[in-house]
Structure 1
């Protein structure tokens, strides 16, 4: 649970008064244009950066205000998939993935080997344990980083721009992998990205950061049907709207666009594509039924287009 989180660097306010709860066992995405503090948000969740205000509660422990000794224990609940994989270049994949087990547990080598090979097979890297990071593709490095994030059996997995540097095909494979992992281990997953392909096919919930605020966070259908100008611009990938080249546009530029007649109102939002299902042979995601009960309980509070999209999605799954 995130309550009133505010973060600045010097006089630059990154975001302010962020409030949200990540539903347990579900997959969530945090969207936002470049420079909106998405990675800073992830680092704040695990106590690597200290926000000026607010709390992040994980199992009753406040990750913002608790002593480092207590944070060290709670961080074992997290698995982190870094943007670049963060692998040690001089170690082969087996040694890279085994590192957290040797650093944080007293397990014997046969047990470490069993766990590492199991996680490597889970992410499609069976047989690659002897390869160095420099000998494999960017997509394989991402998967190796994910395997390393899994070896301590985390309850929460944080993925920082997992699609960064990947082509659309590899991004699709990685998206499917994240859904498959959720089906297998029922972990809470938060993905930070600006990739619409990932956001439209993977998560149960979506949030968006912009102008130092959390624009929205909730069931995926709420954002994917939103007519909020910044959301609509982002989903369509248009130049005209509140998002500028480096940051938000000022009011005078927005007014000039309106005067010039730039608008996208007649184009409509992209259609909502079905959420990915686990690969054949895997169990159904436990999150689906939990989410259905949770979302139906709040359905009357949601905008009408989101209600219709949610009901349509439920009918399609039956």
Structure 2
């Protein structure tokens, strides 16, 4: 099962530039969480702090009972084996084939035989639809394929914690949906704790159990996804809708003159270009494919939300109840479909390699709750 990651009072700066301060949140064991925020707010920096690649000025990061900000290098080395990381650009070794890139953690951290390594690597490459591309170099494939190869490498040690830095970048919308479904299926199979950094609002609405948002060097909020999606926090509403009118500007700090000018435009009935979707209408969370185990995290998450329900805003409570009812209906439908499939002798478990079929050519073009401050 995945392990809990507890962050308390974390502050990070580069020289005189403060990136974020006093960030406090807990990634519950085995649950899927997402971290949102405008570009340049330090989301990738936060991931690097979680695995000890960057050392914060203040605060603690406790992973499986060990504070990695204070532990020895030897202890940190062992803790890092719990993590699988999908970096934003894939971070593949350019001189190695996809097979060797994926095999690298196994050769570095285990004493497995080459035959065992081949079996594991091919399983992971098949999982992301790259079973026929193992001999290719990163420079010979599209950006989207490099991203999927990076995911295969992140999964090769069957990690207890998976960090994904913008898993959808370089992928078209269809393959983004497949990667999202794959993360949910992986969570169902190995019960890993997953944190996804993303700008993709559809992922944020349908994949995670919990959502947080960084803005103006602080964590605006973190908690059950329904809390953020129904929030009245101006920065949250603007980010979800993709509107240029609001506290988020081209630079993170919007000046008063720009804000006043935009308000005049809004008062004149001129729109800011954002979507008019009603995000307070909660879309049911994506469920594992038929034939996959049920997510153990779902029951734990529901119990945790029930325990904190009385602390949440009324709008969030209503959205959570509606979301739970919709998810229960989806589970019932999946169970009935699987039962019918079993009676007919068929199997509905999805072959991910077939899902990605046709994507291995080089012509791929589109490659606990904190209130607002």
Give the TM-score of the pair, scaled to structure 1.
0.94
The Cα of 1:259 is off from its aligned counterpart by 5.1
Given candidates 70, 80, 83, the residue that maps to 2:85 is 80
The reply on whether 1:60 has 2:60 as its aligned counterpart is: no
Equivalent residue number for residue 286 of structure 1: 296
The reply on whether 1:188 has 2:187 as its aligned counterpart is: no
For the Cα contact (< 8 Å) 1:154–1:187, is it kept in 2?
yes
* SS of residue in 2 equivalent to 1:88: coil
For the Cα contact (< 8 Å) 2:147–2:170, is it kept in 1?
no
The separation in 2 between residues aligned to 1:300 and 1:199, in whole angstroms, is 24
Q: Which structure would you say has the larger Rg?
A: 2
The separation in 2 between residues aligned to 1:239 and 1:288, in whole angstroms, is 35
Equivalent residue number for residue 46 of structure 1: 51
The Cα of 1:258 is off from its aligned counterpart by 3.6
For the Cα contact (< 8 Å) 1:30–1:190, is it kept in 2?
yes
User: For structure 1, which runs of at least 5 residues remain unmatched after alignment?
Assistant: none
The separation in 1 between residues aligned to 2:245 and 2:282, in whole angstroms, is 22
Equivalent residue number for residue 225 of structure 1: 230
* SS of residue in 1 equivalent to 2:38: coil
- Greater mean alpha carbon deviation, residues 129-138 or residues 198-207: 129-138
The reply on whether 1:171 has 2:152 as its aligned counterpart is: no
For the Cα contact (< 8 Å) 1:97–1:144, is it kept in 2?
yes
User: For structure 2, which runs of at least 5 residues remain unmatched after alignment?
Assistant: 1-5, 329-373
* SS of residue in 2 equivalent to 1:177: helix
The separation in 2 between residues aligned to 1:96 and 1:311, in whole angstroms, is 44
The reply on whether 1:96 has 2:98 as its aligned counterpart is: no
For the Cα contact (< 8 Å) 2:144–2:169, is it kept in 1?
no
> What is the RMSD of the two structures over their aligned residues, measured on CA atoms?
1.7
The Cα of 1:220 is off from its aligned counterpart by 0.4
The separation in 2 between residues aligned to 1:260 and 1:300, in whole angstroms, is 40
The reply on whether 1:34 has 2:39 as its aligned counterpart is: yes
Equivalent residue number for residue 297 of structure 1: 307
The Cα of 1:122 is off from its aligned counterpart by 2.4
The separation in 2 between residues aligned to 1:127 and 1:160, in whole angstroms, is 25
**1:253-268 residue pairs with structure 2 within 5 A?**
253-258=258-263, 261-262=266-267
Count of residues in correspondence between the two structures? 316
Equivalent residue number for residue 306 of structure 1: 316
Equivalent residue number for residue 207 of structure 1: 212
* SS of residue in 2 equivalent to 1:29: strand
For the Cα contact (< 8 Å) 1:225–1:269, is it kept in 2?
no
The Cα of 1:44 is off from its aligned counterpart by 0.4
Give the TM-score of the pair, scaled to structure 2.
0.81
The separation in 2 between residues aligned to 1:37 and 1:24, in whole angstroms, is 23
